[in-house]
Structure 1
């Protein structure tokens, strides 16, 4: 397989969605606990990145494998799905998917032996979501909870695991500490879940044709477009609440300036929902939000 095809198959461009929560969780640990375990953190970064690629690969080949073979779906099979477009065999797809996931799993289990069982439970949840998102008899992505699981798993769990790996030896997980991390990660959670929501909004007709009953099927496009817009507001409110709780540096509030380009991009998306033209706006919004959050939070550690 050519490198270009491999990178397209694992959707390398989407890796930013897991890298930024990883950075944010690390900064959170430094701000609140004043320490970082660089070696363990580096291994977690590699493990999470490999698993992110494995999940993307699994999504692509599962979509190709289970798509109906009829005239209505020929365009999807031959011109849209990366497996069909590049004529990747199912054997190749599975080897790459389980190979990436296997290496990630080995690294994760080793980290469990060094940091403790909480990482095992968090990891098991993440791996389960990663597989069942597109695999199994009732894939998560074909139902109404895809946005929740994508936003919560990537926006919160990666953030939380990064915090845990840096602080396992100085603190214990409590309901209060978990709630504080959840609020601090709220901005990332809503921004990332909106990527999935934008994807489903653009693919609504195609999803229905393929038998996928996403949340658009139940609530309709007008309602979910409003949810899309207000989700960004909810994320910014989480940021303000986290600063008020004292778990984020006050300078993090400068992240609110990102609302200007996010507002402009959101208005464009609300006017037109075309996969090849405006879906990228949700990715741009998530990148702008999380990157500015990381920059201002990092500056907040210095003052």
Structure 2
């Protein structure tokens, strides 16, 4: 059996980003707690395990497909973990297939213990995750990649989490879905910005590999302005959520982040570089993605 070091698995699976999903899941439950005072079901905790497992699956698959589809030899041999560390491509594929099978099996168990609604939402989520980097025209090569992936992660995960907290006592309605979307919008926007910044920094590399993301059509200057506008709007949206009663007052503590983060983003405005300034964007967006669910959950406890 081939050997894969922990460091290689760490980079290949990008498992270090998995904890962020736990905060996204927390938001879904916090919404159910705030609106309906619901408690998590056993199925909710199974869903947490599925999300972590599928997160690992998708990241391994994305690295696998990026390596196979790469036209730029420098990216293939120096940047991608598979080529750089001379990993056996078949072994990587087998790891992906095993983790996919486990995710699918756990998903079947979840649907068996809940209902078809979870099955439908799960199939959509699986489709977006797998076809992000698969096919003749993978999603990550299209201008809809940022919006679609942001919606899948920032809205679908909280939506399923929310539903698993209420399905035993309530019937899901379109107004409920609409409220969850409006409340999840800050996460959708931050995920959109993360991908937009990543693709802005990787524009030249993406062109070499025939990936025409949104940045390709906008150009770097406009892409940066879109990112900053979306970031500013997200704070305005927090005020709207609180004043309409869709979010607890505790989320307003996030407004304290704006001055410092906005100032730091000036450096990204000047230069878009994967190593120098992308981490600044990632830190600013991740702060909201972590603190927003936590503050929302804390607010839900004051009912």
TM-score, normalised to structure 1, is 0.94
For each residue in 1:72-106, what CA deviation from the matched residue of structure 2 results, as whole angstroms up to 9, or x when unmatched? Answer: x2221111111111212221121111211221111
Aligned-partner Cα distance in 2 for 1:261–1:28: 28
Counterpart position of 2:229: 230
Query: Equivalences for 1:1-303 in 2 at 5 Å?
Result: 1-68=4-71, 73-303=72-302
Aligned-partner Cα distance in 2 for 1:76–1:52: 23
Aligned-partner Cα distance in 1 for 2:233–2:120: 28
Contact between 1:26 and 1:162, CA under 8 Å: does it hold in 2? yes
Aligned-partner Cα distance in 1 for 2:240–2:207: 38
For each residue in 1:203-232, what CA deviation from the matched residue of structure 2 results, as whole angstroms up to 9, or x when unmatched? Answer: 001111111111111121111111111111
**What stretches of structure 1 move > 6 A for 4+ residues in a row?**
none
Q: How many residues align?
A: 299
**SS in structure 2 of the partner of residue 35 of structure 1:** coil
Aligned-partner Cα distance in 1 for 2:85–2:179: 45
Deviation at 1:35, TM superposition (A): 1.7
Greater RCO between the two (CA within 8 Å, min separation 6)? 2
Aligned-partner Cα distance in 2 for 1:179–1:234: 19
Structure 2 residue runs of 5 or longer lacking an equivalent are: none
Structure 1 residue runs of 5 or longer lacking an equivalent are: none
Contact between 2:23 and 2:294, CA under 8 Å: does it hold in 1? no
